[in-house]
Amino acid sequence: MRASRKTRQPSLGPQGCSTFRRQEQLHRLARRSCCRQRIIATGANAQIPPGAEVIDLGDATLLPGFIDAHTHLTIQYTTDYKQAALDNLQKTVPEQTLDALANVKVTLMSGFTTVRDVGSHDFIDVGLRNAIRNGKVPGPRMLVSVHAIGASGGHCDDTGYRSGVFGKENGPENGVANGPEQVRYAVRLAHKYGADIIKTCASGGVLSLADDVDTPQLTQAEMDALIDEAHALRRKVAAHAHGAEAAKRAVRAGVDSIEHGSFLDDEALDMMKKNGTYYVPTLMALQGLSEQMAQGMYIPPAVRIKAELAMASLHKTFQKALAKGVKIGLGTDAAVYPHGRNSEEFHQMVDLGMKPVDALKAGTSADADLLGLADKIGTLEPGKLADIVAVHGNPIENIRQTEHVFFVMKEGVVYKAEQSAPR
């Protein structure tokens, strides 16, 4: 593949996209016929192999395929809270799976070639991952969790229903565990049935009905057992943790990332900085909730109160994390807002003071490191998988160009090729 002389590409190096070259240069990205399509060469002196397809993208900026480290692609966005609850009870698993096909496609078309999916049910995420991996349906590369793991009555449990309505209480097979041994068993079951990563609910949540948003929900012993078992199985752990104490327990246990983190205090952030723990703030989640409130969508009063508290705190927490130099990854909580708007997270971070180039790293090379895939994706370098997106203009000058991806390649296969930028 060849982009024209005016095509911009991030300056490559161990940190991924760091600067954009202003001078005109020729970039040739060739692909070869193999099951794992990789970048062969980049730069003005790259040689095009005989018979390679040449694609001229005009005056464009090439970027590594975007990565979203916090999605729920099997969950549908809705503006009708009560209907969504009813749909979850009435729709069959096959119908919910078919609904999710639209989500994975629109996510890929927006430039996200890899996602970490952190909470599903009935193995829908496993089925989607496998179908995408086997080329049966178009979608981003998925790392899945099977389901999140948490305590009875917590954010990972089914709350808000009368006792006995589901016949029995959830157990480790559903990701609900109490005590270190049950927690280990829950991790082992998730691993047994296909989890690439482990997701845990360390604190209460905004959308759950039986907890305060910032309360810790796993003891230190439970968190230690969960992360020890996951790491022994070579699975990274993402911890949903709005509250500071919940996050501290997870960081002490060696968690790989803290999700949301609305009420992280200085001590928690300093611990994350020291331990190299990633922070995935999911700013688009609160954007989605604020839009729902503005539209007058019914939201249970308890949920509304928690959402307002989180919205009042999250932006300040993000700015403190940025100032302290905590590692930040891009994750959006897709499903709390409409799928396909994932790239708006870039401008959300920039609006709060992050440099555009660092926001781009968060959604490419940093997320690749967080997911344990830095040797495969996240930068445009020879040997990496050919995950490439193109946008008009220069996102360093206008980060919102990332919201207008017109070309998407994943593993050397072109999934989107709209009209290129004007010359």
For the segment 144-153, what is each residue's pLDDT rounded down to a tens digit? 999 999 999 8
In this predicted structure, what is the pLDDT of residue 378?
Answer: 98
**Residue indicated by tokens 């060849």:** 2
In this predicted structure, what is the pLDDT of residue 357?
Answer: 98
Q: Domain 1-65+376-423: which topology? A: Urease, subunit C; domain 1 (2.30.40)
Predicted confidence (pLDDT) per residue in 159-198, tens digit: 777 888 788 888 899 999 999 999 999 999 999 999 999 9
Mean pLDDT of 322-346: 97
SS3 for 64?
strand
Rounded Cα–Cα distance for residues 60 and 64 (Å): 13
Do 1-65+376-423 and 67-342 fold alike per CATH?
A: no
Confidence of residue 20 (pLDDT cuts 50, 70, 90): very low
| Selection from 291, 242, 294 nearest residue 268 by Cα | 242
Mean residue pLDDT of the chain comes to: 89
Predicted confidence (pLDDT) per residue in 254-298, tens digit: 999 999 999 999 999 999 999 999 999 999 999 999 999 898 888
Confidence of residue 127 (pLDDT cuts 50, 70, 90): very high
* Residue 74 identity: T
Q: How far is CA 7 from CA 4, 28, 365, 389, in A?
A: 5, 10, 20, 12
44 pLDDT more than 50: yes
Rounded Cα–Cα distance for residues 332 and 260 (Å): 9
**Range name among 8-12, 323-327, 394-398 with the lowest pLDDT average:** 8-12
Q: Domain 67-342: which topology? A: TIM Barrel (3.20.20)
Q: What is the DSSP letter of 403?
A: G
pTM over 0.85: yes
Confidence of residue 420 (pLDDT cuts 50, 70, 90): low
**Residue indicated by tokens 């049935």:** 193
Domain map (residue ranges) of the chain = 1-65+376-423, 67-342
